[in-house]
Amino acid sequence: MRWTLKPKPDSDKLKSLKSSLQVDDIIATLLLQRGIDTYEDAKRFFRPSLRDLHDPFLMKDMDKAVARIEKAITNKENILVYGDYDVDGTTSVALMASYLKTIHPLVYTYIPNRYDEGYGVSYKGINFALENDFTLIITLDCGIKAAEKVEYAKNLGIDFIICDHHRPSAELPNAVAVLDPKRDDCTYPYKELCGCGVGFKLIQALASKQGKTAEDLTEYLDLVAIAIGADIVPITGENRVLTCFGLEIINTNPRPGIKAILNQIEKTELTITDVVFAIAPRINAAGRMEHGNFAVALLTEEDGTLAAKYALQINSYNLDRRETDKQITEEALKQIEEQKEQNRLTTVVYNKNWHKGVIGIVASRLTETYYRPTLVFTKSGDVLAASARSVKGFDVYNALENCSQYIEQFGGHKYAAGLTLKEENYEAFKQAFEDEVTKTIDKTLLIPEIKIDTQIDLDDITPKFYRILKQLAPFGPENMTPLFMTENLKDTGYGKCVGEDKTHLRITVEQPQSNKLVAIGFGLGDKLDIISGGKTFKAVYSIDENEWQGNVSLQLKLRDIETQ
């Protein structure tokens, strides 16, 4: 691990913020690191309001999108809501369809089959629309690169409204409206919305025509919060506002489908972390193991009994997914070892029998193991399909773009992408990708980095301090859980490895003349020697609460420890 201590903020700004907010150095530092340097910024951060959301009509083409939907309603046209099969896509479709059905009865949904249609808009989907008399397709979380397919549909008399958040190509599709804040010509103030977020802006715009505000649309924000968490977009600006209110709905008045999932989890109050690790994988499992339609059915179902039945089915898909990705990960690790490719700067593996629905998860696990840009390929029809994952700081999308002569199709983000290529191009692509990464990557990025917010002492950790820390949540990209470093630590003599396989570390730490605090380090059991025998060490950790037999106490969640 590379320990990187964030730079100290400007002393004048620190002094000013401390004074205006009446907080200590540590809290003021954490806020300044998050770009909050005035009382007004802090007020918006700590007291998010739906009134802080931007006018949706600031988004390029929003007026055209609203006008076309209003025309469809007036003319009693059939509207097809079309989205990707992952969490962002299925929540987006559920959101858009649920809202449109309140103002128009002729609304239907379509999720492409991962295995015979692949990602995004498909000719099969357009032909389905033609055969069933749909004259308007609204895409969510896809469509920005579907120029040929949109043109094909246009020639058949089918219009498109595209709601996407992926990077556009040079040529935009010839749709009635293309809503994507990442368009070069779009001046919308916030660029980091997920697909479901763009969908929410569209229903916000539609609702405003009926005199409604965002406050009238809070029932849809549970879906938006789940999509934001699952799609790992920054939890800043509008995303932070939408997440805060979405979590409130999840915890107080969730839709029947979400409630059915919560009944399986048996947690009283969910955080965004719970959404990412407990809700999102279940929703994702439908599209991975069977069909994304199951997720949309669950998320739009209004009957609690039926929702519970759907949730049970989706949970079984999730259990199958876990078993499958565990097996494939083991096979991929073995392949890397057998091919003696540990010294490469990339990981590229292929097996024609691997399940296409879980190769993205496997790519993430391999990235965690070897910490380098990773692609996992499987056979998909007459081509090979891959999921790509990257390490922090390296743009895998750009790397793929520079190998595009070997690729049939690709799309995605800086840290996650998907692609297809012909089997005969696999070896040439594999070498080209290795060469491109070798040429462009900063080698220090191949060592996992821990970014430390600030250095503190154990005595700084008080219940009051923790109460303020909790108000920095929800945590996520660009507003991560604060990490602290403390030096001159010693274990009180009770440090030990815990867990079934003894891979975790549990210690009680102290500094000279300080309070004692329990610390738990998951996966740090192999560092027991560092803290044994009264040695002095330093640690990086976050702070959380531990509840045991009704007693709640603060504890340190260790990320890494080093000898001092």
| pLDDT value at 487 more than 90 | yes
Domain termination site, one of 313, 328, 354: 313
The predicted pLDDT at position 461 comes to 96
Mean pLDDT of the chain: 95
Share of the chain above pLDDT 90, in %: 88
Average pLDDT over residues 86-113: 97
Are 344 and 274 in the same domain? no
Residue-wise pLDDT tens digits, 10-25: 999 999 999 999 999 9
Place of tokens 């890397």: 336
The predicted pLDDT at position 265 comes to 87
Are 171 and 256 in the same domain? yes
| pLDDT value at 343 more than 80 | no
| pLDDT value at 176 more than 90 | yes
Backbone φ, ψ for residue 510 (5° rounding) = -150, 155
Task: Indicate the residue type of 102.
Answer: T
Band (266; pLDDT cuts 50, 70, 90): confident
The predicted pLDDT at position 550 comes to 77
In a domain, 334, yes or no: no
| Omega before residue 112 within 30° of 0, cis | no
The predicted pLDDT at position 341 comes to 64
Euclidean distance between CA atoms 235 and 474, whole angstroms: 7
In a domain, 11, yes or no: no
Give the chain's length. Answer: 564
Average pLDDT over residues 436-449: 95
Are 244 and 98 in the same domain? yes
Residue-wise pLDDT tens digits, 109-154: 999 998 888 788 999 999 999 999 999 999 999 999 999 999 999 9
| pLDDT value at 513 more than 90 | no
* Non-local CB neighbours of 535 within 8 Å, separated by 6+ positions: 490, 563
CATH number of the domain that 64 lies in?
A: 3.90.1640.30
Are 359 and 506 in the same domain? no
Band (535; pLDDT cuts 50, 70, 90): very high
Task: Indicate the residue type of 97.
Answer: A
Q: Are strands 416-421 and 449-452 parallel, antiparallel or unpaired?
A: unpaired
**Better pLDDT: 232 or 395:** 395
The predicted pLDDT at position 159 comes to 98
Closest CA relative to residue 246, chosen from 222, 219, 279, 271: 222
**Using N-to-C axis directions, what is the helix angle for 195-208 and 237-252, rounded to 10°?**
80
Band (342; pLDDT cuts 50, 70, 90): low
CATH number of the domain that 533 lies in?
A: 2.40.50.460
Are 93 and 141 in the same domain? yes
What domain range includes position 441?
Answer: 339-446
CB of 518 within 8 A of CB of 556? yes
Total tally of structural domains belonging to the chain: 3
Average pLDDT over residues 545-551: 82
| pTM, 2 dp | 0.91
Domain termination site, one of 295, 313, 331: 313
Structure tokens at 71: 């025309």
| pLDDT value at 259 more than 80 | yes
